[in-house]
Amino acid sequence: MKLGSKINKLLMALKQKGYVFMLHKEQNWSSKLNRVSTLYKLFHLVPVEEYNKLYPDKKKDPNKYEYVKVEVYKSFKQVDILLKLVEWYKGAGEEE
């Protein structure tokens, strides 16, 4: 089953609700599996002021940055990413 299109639709739906997420794919060599494995990382784009409140020990310069990427989830399975996005989408719907 192709999950990429469903993930992209959820990313767009969350963006319309004001939550900007980015999905990165990283390929690594696994000695244990003796093959290339793909790691999916989900980032949330946070305004720098909010980031500085959340992480006071890792402050970013507001004059230099407008938004900061914060890694919120990572998995080797696309279905886990999809389920996490569905969870956030349902949570975003409850806030309204």
Q: What is the pLDDT of residues 48-91, one digit of tens each?
A: 989 988 888 888 888 888 999 999 999 999 999 999 999 999 98
**% pLDDT > 90, the chain:** 67
Q: What is the pLDDT of residue 95?
A: 55
Q: Any residues with CB less than 8 A from the CB of 47 and at least 6 apart, and which? A: 66, 67, 68
* Domain around 57: 4-95
pTM exceeds 0.85, yes or no:
no
Q: How far is CA 25 from CA 22, 43, 82, 95, in A?
A: 10, 11, 14, 30
Residue 96 has pLDDT above 60, yes or no: no
pLDDT of residue 59: 86
Mean pLDDT value of segment 7-28: 94
Q: Looking at the 3D structure of the chain, how many domains does it have?
A: 1
